[in-house]
Protein backbone atom coordinates (compact mmCIF):
# COMPACT_ATOMS: atom_id res chain seq x y z
CA UNK A 1 0.00 0.00 0.00
CA UNK A 2 1.30 3.40 -0.97
CA UNK A 3 -0.52 5.28 1.77
CA UNK A 4 1.13 5.43 5.19
CA UNK A 5 -1.87 5.05 7.48
CA UNK A 6 -1.63 6.13 11.10
CA UNK A 7 -5.17 5.29 12.06
CA UNK A 8 -8.56 4.31 10.70
CA UNK A 9 -11.83 5.20 12.44
CA UNK A 10 -15.36 4.08 11.67
CA UNK A 11 -18.61 5.66 12.78
CA UNK A 12 -22.12 4.23 12.57
CA UNK A 13 -25.13 6.41 13.36
CA UNK A 14 -28.64 5.07 13.80
CA UNK A 15 -31.59 7.44 14.19
CA UNK A 16 -34.68 5.96 15.80
CA UNK A 17 -36.76 8.98 16.71
CA UNK A 18 -37.14 12.60 15.65
CA UNK A 19 -39.33 15.05 17.56
CA UNK A 20 -41.11 12.24 19.34
CA UNK A 21 -41.95 10.41 16.14
CA UNK A 22 -40.46 6.96 15.59
CA UNK A 23 -38.25 6.48 12.57
CA UNK A 24 -39.19 2.98 11.43
CA UNK A 25 -37.04 1.44 10.15
CA UNK A 26 -34.29 3.55 11.72
CA UNK A 27 -32.04 5.44 9.29
CA UNK A 28 -28.43 4.33 9.38
CA UNK A 29 -25.24 5.74 7.98
CA UNK A 30 -21.59 4.91 8.35
CA UNK A 31 -18.31 6.68 7.69
CA UNK A 32 -14.79 5.31 7.52
CA UNK A 33 -11.94 7.77 7.96
CA UNK A 34 -8.23 7.18 7.37
CA UNK A 35 -5.50 9.42 8.77
CA UNK A 36 -2.50 9.27 6.45
CA UNK A 37 0.88 10.93 6.04
CA UNK A 38 0.82 13.70 3.45
CA UNK A 39 3.80 12.97 1.19
CA UNK A 40 3.57 16.47 -0.28
CA UNK A 41 3.43 18.41 3.01
CA UNK A 42 5.60 21.45 3.57
CA UNK A 43 6.56 22.15 -0.03
CA UNK A 44 5.05 22.93 -3.39
CA UNK A 45 4.82 19.73 -5.43
CA UNK A 46 3.72 20.12 -9.04
CA UNK A 47 2.92 16.48 -9.82
CA UNK A 48 0.32 15.13 -7.41
CA UNK A 49 0.02 11.67 -8.94
CA UNK A 50 1.22 9.96 -5.74
CA UNK A 51 -1.81 11.39 -3.94
CA UNK A 52 -4.08 10.27 -6.75
CA UNK A 53 -2.84 6.68 -6.33
CA UNK A 54 -3.38 6.95 -2.59
CA UNK A 55 -6.93 8.11 -3.31
CA UNK A 56 -7.54 4.99 -5.38
CA UNK A 57 -6.32 2.71 -2.57
CA UNK A 58 -8.37 4.52 0.04
CA UNK A 59 -11.50 4.47 -2.12
CA UNK A 60 -11.56 0.70 -1.86
CA UNK A 61 -10.37 0.37 1.74
CA UNK A 62 -12.70 2.99 3.20
CA UNK A 63 -15.77 1.83 1.27
CA UNK A 64 -15.19 -1.77 2.40
CA UNK A 65 -14.78 -0.58 6.01
CA UNK A 66 -17.85 1.65 5.93
CA UNK A 67 -20.06 -1.01 4.37
CA UNK A 68 -18.80 -3.60 6.87
CA UNK A 69 -19.54 -1.21 9.74
CA UNK A 70 -23.06 -0.70 8.41
CA UNK A 71 -23.45 -4.47 8.18
CA UNK A 72 -25.50 -4.55 4.97
CA UNK A 73 -24.79 -6.00 1.51
CA UNK A 74 -22.77 -3.44 -0.48
CA UNK A 75 -25.35 -3.46 -3.27
CA UNK A 76 -28.05 -2.14 -0.93
CA UNK A 77 -26.23 1.09 -0.07
CA UNK A 78 -28.48 4.02 -1.00
CA UNK A 79 -26.37 7.15 -0.75
CA UNK A 80 -22.74 8.10 -0.47
CA UNK A 81 -20.25 10.92 -0.05
CA UNK A 82 -16.57 11.65 0.43
CA UNK A 83 -14.44 14.32 2.07
CA UNK A 84 -10.90 15.19 3.08
CA UNK A 85 -9.23 17.51 5.56
CA UNK A 86 -5.62 18.52 4.96
CA UNK A 87 -3.34 19.40 7.87
CA UNK A 88 -1.80 22.86 8.10
CA UNK A 89 1.35 22.01 6.10
CA UNK A 90 -0.64 20.84 3.10
CA UNK A 91 -2.67 22.42 0.32
CA UNK A 92 -6.34 22.13 -0.52
CA UNK A 93 -5.18 20.79 -3.86
CA UNK A 94 -3.80 17.74 -2.05
CA UNK A 95 -7.34 16.90 -0.92
CA UNK A 96 -8.51 17.38 -4.50
CA UNK A 97 -5.82 14.99 -5.77
CA UNK A 98 -6.95 12.29 -3.36
CA UNK A 99 -10.69 12.77 -3.84
CA UNK A 100 -11.34 13.51 -7.47
CA UNK A 101 -9.24 11.67 -10.07
CA UNK A 102 -9.24 8.06 -8.82
CA UNK A 103 -11.11 7.54 -5.55
CA UNK A 104 -14.56 7.12 -7.08
CA UNK A 105 -14.00 4.07 -9.30
CA UNK A 106 -13.19 1.61 -6.48
CA UNK A 107 -16.09 3.02 -4.44
CA UNK A 108 -18.46 2.18 -7.29
CA UNK A 109 -16.82 -1.20 -7.80
CA UNK A 110 -17.46 -2.15 -4.18
CA UNK A 111 -21.07 -0.93 -4.34
CA UNK A 112 -21.84 -2.55 -7.68
CA UNK A 113 -23.34 0.65 -9.05
CA UNK A 114 -23.17 4.40 -8.51
CA UNK A 115 -24.25 6.36 -11.54
CA UNK A 116 -24.36 9.65 -9.62
CA UNK A 117 -21.52 11.99 -8.85
CA UNK A 118 -20.12 11.30 -5.39
CA UNK A 119 -20.72 14.54 -3.48
CA UNK A 120 -17.61 15.83 -1.77
CA UNK A 121 -16.18 18.48 0.50
CA UNK A 122 -12.69 19.46 1.50
CA UNK A 123 -10.94 21.81 3.85
CA UNK A 124 -7.68 22.56 5.57
CA UNK A 125 -7.71 22.44 9.33
CA UNK A 126 -6.10 21.49 12.60
CA UNK A 127 -6.57 18.66 15.05
CA UNK A 128 -10.19 17.79 15.71
CA UNK A 129 -11.55 19.76 12.77
CA UNK A 130 -15.11 18.61 11.96
CA UNK A 131 -15.53 17.17 8.50
CA UNK A 132 -19.03 17.50 7.02
CA UNK A 133 -19.34 14.74 4.45
CA UNK A 134 -22.11 15.58 1.96
CA UNK A 135 -24.43 12.72 1.04
CA UNK A 136 -26.45 12.09 -2.10
CA UNK A 137 -28.25 9.13 -3.68
CA UNK A 138 -25.73 6.94 -5.45
CA UNK A 139 -27.77 6.40 -8.61
CA UNK A 140 -29.68 9.65 -9.01
CA UNK A 141 -28.29 12.89 -7.62
CA UNK A 142 -31.70 14.61 -7.62
CA UNK A 143 -33.36 12.28 -5.10
CA UNK A 144 -34.28 14.96 -2.59
CA UNK A 145 -34.91 12.65 0.39
CA UNK A 146 -31.25 11.62 0.29
CA UNK A 147 -29.63 15.09 0.31
CA UNK A 148 -27.88 14.90 3.65
CA UNK A 149 -24.57 15.22 5.47
CA UNK A 150 -22.65 13.44 8.19
CA UNK A 151 -20.24 15.12 10.56
CA UNK A 152 -17.18 13.20 11.68
CA UNK A 153 -14.09 14.23 13.57
CA UNK A 154 -11.04 12.71 15.19
CA UNK A 155 -9.59 14.68 18.07
CA UNK A 156 -5.94 14.04 17.19
CA UNK A 157 -6.11 14.50 13.42
CA UNK A 158 -5.06 15.86 11.05
CA UNK A 159 -1.62 16.71 12.35
CA UNK A 160 0.27 19.29 10.28
CA UNK A 161 1.73 16.71 7.87
CA UNK A 162 -1.34 14.50 7.62
CA UNK A 163 -4.56 14.20 5.62
CA UNK A 164 -7.89 12.80 6.84
CA UNK A 165 -9.84 11.02 4.13
CA UNK A 166 -13.46 9.93 4.61
CA UNK A 167 -16.05 7.87 2.74
CA UNK A 168 -19.64 7.67 3.98
CA UNK A 169 -22.44 5.30 2.97
CA UNK A 170 -26.06 4.92 4.11
CA UNK A 171 -28.96 2.50 3.94
CA UNK A 172 -31.48 5.36 3.76
CA UNK A 173 -32.16 9.06 3.33
CA UNK A 174 -33.01 11.61 6.03
CA UNK A 175 -35.06 10.32 8.98
CA UNK A 176 -38.45 11.88 8.14
CA UNK A 177 -38.19 13.33 4.60
CA UNK A 178 -41.13 15.49 3.57
CA UNK A 179 -39.99 18.27 1.29
CA UNK A 180 -41.04 16.61 -1.94
CA UNK A 181 -38.89 16.31 -5.04
CA UNK A 182 -37.77 13.18 -6.83
CA UNK A 183 -38.28 10.04 -4.72
CA UNK A 184 -36.12 6.95 -4.88
CA UNK A 185 -38.86 4.83 -6.45
CA UNK A 186 -38.99 7.30 -9.37
CA UNK A 187 -35.32 6.84 -10.29
CA UNK A 188 -34.74 6.15 -13.98
CA UNK A 189 -31.06 5.56 -13.36
CA UNK A 190 -29.80 6.48 -16.82
CA UNK A 191 -27.82 9.65 -16.35
CA UNK A 192 -26.94 9.61 -12.66
CA UNK A 193 -29.17 12.63 -12.10
CA UNK A 194 -32.79 11.37 -12.11
Partner 1 sequence: MPDIQIRKKLTSVEEIFHEGGPLATTPLRRAAALVVIHNPFAGAYIKDIAGFMDDLRPLGLEMARSLVAVLGGDPGIVEGYGKGAIIGSAGELEHGALWHVPGGYAMREILGDAKAIVSSTKKVGGPGARLDVPITHINASYVRSHFDAMEVGLADAPRADEILLALVMTTGPRVHARVGGLKASDIKGEDGLR
Residue 159 CB, shortest distance to partner 1, in Å, is 9
Calpha distance 45→47 (Å, rounded): 6
Residue 113 CB, shortest distance to partner 1, in Å, is 26
96 versus 153: smaller Cβ distance to partner 1: 153
Residue 8 CB, shortest distance to partner 1, in Å, is 5
Determine the 3-state secondary structure of 131 from DSSP. Answer: strand
6 versus 100: smaller Cβ distance to partner 1: 6
99 contact partners, CB below 8 Å, separation of at least 6: 55, 82, 83, 84, 120, 122, 165
Calpha distance 56→64 (Å, rounded): 13
Instruction: Specify the pairing of strand 120-124 against strand 79-86.
Output: parallel
Calpha distance 187→145 (Å, rounded): 12
156 versus 190: smaller Cβ distance to partner 1: 156
67 versus 96: smaller Cβ distance to partner 1: 67
The H-assigned helical ranges of the chain are 49-70, 92-99, 104-111
12 versus 117: smaller Cβ distance to partner 1: 12
10 contact partners, CB below 8 Å, separation of at least 6: 30, 31, 32, 33, 65, 66, 69
Residue 21 CB, shortest distance to partner 1, in Å, is 10
Residue 19 CB, shortest distance to partner 1, in Å, is 9
Contact residues for partner 1, defined by CB under 8 A: 5-18, 69, 128, 130, 151, 154-155
Amino acid sequence: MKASIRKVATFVEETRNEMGRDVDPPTRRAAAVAVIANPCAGKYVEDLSELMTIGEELGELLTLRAVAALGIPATTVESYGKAAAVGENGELEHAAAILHPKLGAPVRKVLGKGAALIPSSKKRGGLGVPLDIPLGHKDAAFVRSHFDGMEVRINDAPRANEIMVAVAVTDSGRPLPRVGGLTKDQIKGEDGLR
